[in-house]
Amino acid sequence: MRTAYKCRAYPDFEQASVLNRTFGCIRVVWNRTLAWRHARYDGEQARTNFTQASAYLTGLKAREDLGWLNEVSSVPLQQAIRHQQAAFSNFFAGRARYPRYKSRDGRQSAEYTRSGFRYRGGRLFLAKMSTPLAFTWSWPGIDPASVDPTTVTVSRDPCGRWYVFFAVDLADPEQLPATGAVAGVDLGIKDFAVTSDGEKIPNPRRLARRAKNLARYQRRLARCQKGSANRAKAKGKVARAHRKVRASRADFLHRTSARLVRDHDVIVIEDLAVKNMVRNRPLAKAISDCGWGEFRRQLEYKAAAAGRHLIVAGRWYPSSKTCSACGDLLASLSLNTRTWQCPSCGTRHDRDINAAKNILAAGLAVSACGADVRHSGSSRVRSAVKQEPRPVTAGIPVHQGGE
């Protein structure tokens, strides 16, 4: 299993200067290579592979006006070309959007392979540095001297904080003992998650709580003159406010996903089209603040590591409008309706709990044929779109009138 340890880094003035120059060189190499790819495709209708891009980097370093590219380690520059090639592969495979140019105002990072760093006894020496990089180890149960990183990534946030990531190959962890519990999870805005057993996890609304302070910092930034020192300070305050929102949201998502994986053998979630949902302008900000996509990603890798089963129910399944007791399907159900009574069997439902129960039933039904299941040790999810439906007694929608 491959994992990474994230630590706060504290470079001195000389080390920060070397890293900043490295970030600038990476940015130049990335942007110029991307522009060269554009021009080559527009003029020759030819795609570029990694070997050609690497040769182009060699040509850039040989130019007199770009001779300063040779003053930094060549490893991060070569890794930038490798990452750009992977970005294009993901784009053509439909897994990511088109690669964009890098900006000096965003997050900066540099990746070092084994030839670009030396890690001995818990001390990290990077290329072009004579002194070890200071960092804080945050895992008391793990000896930093015993870690054998394969790659090291150093990054700097827009707010000025430095981090170092150690990518490590570890043995597969021990699987958690079985609990015999299953849960269907319905994600929402009012309540972040509602489980099929009736538990409601409140939405912390991290961004909404800090929106007032963030708006004040952004107004101050808008009044500052571009290029001034006060504008740089105001930009740092805005970046720190966003960092606090990200950190608190990530902490909530990690705690929630870890608890669900620890307490349940089978977890069923709905395949939400988050990218399409954020096109709803009145709800886009609230949906983005929830972090549903990150929550699903955490559930996937934590369930695989713990030996749990993650089932992804169909995207078009009408879980809210279906009676979990008899399977009757309503013709329509407005978003304002939080409770409703089934006209067929008379059962009164809480909208979110009923949806969670239906998601669980639908997930268990499709898992019988091996579809939409995330098994331990596998990172591939198979779609259940073309699977034939299997009859179950409850949880499957049935139109009124027997249709």
Helix (H) or strand (E) segment spanning residue 305:
helix 292-306
Alpha-carbon distance of 59 to 52, in angstroms, equals 11
- Give the residue from 183, 321, 190, 206 showing the smallest Cα distance to 262: 183
Give catalytic residue positions: 186, 270, 352
Question: How many CA within 13 A on the CB side of residue 6?
Answer: 5
Asked if residue 171 lies in contact with residue 160, where contact means CB atoms within 8 angstroms, the answer is no
Task: Please report the sign of the dihedral spanned by the C-alpha atoms of residue 77, residue 79, residue 83, residue 88.
Answer: positive
Alpha-carbon distance of 235 to 223, in angstroms, equals 11
- Give the residue from 293, 290, 310 showing the smallest Cα distance to 302: 310
Question: How many CA within 13 A on the CB side of residue 384?
Answer: 25
Alpha-carbon distance of 103 to 237, in angstroms, equals 19
Alpha-carbon distance of 236 to 250, in angstroms, equals 21
Alpha-carbon distance of 397 to 362, in angstroms, equals 10
Asked if residue 30 lies in contact with residue 80, where contact means CB atoms within 8 angstroms, the answer is yes
Buried b (16+ CB within 10 A) or exposed e, 133-156: bbbeeeeeeeebeeeebebbbbbb
Buried b (16+ CB within 10 A) or exposed e, 196-225: beeebbebbbbbeebeeebeebeebbeeee
* Interstrand relation of 123-126 and 348-350 (parallel, antiparallel or unpaired): unpaired
Alpha-carbon distance of 134 to 113, in angstroms, equals 19
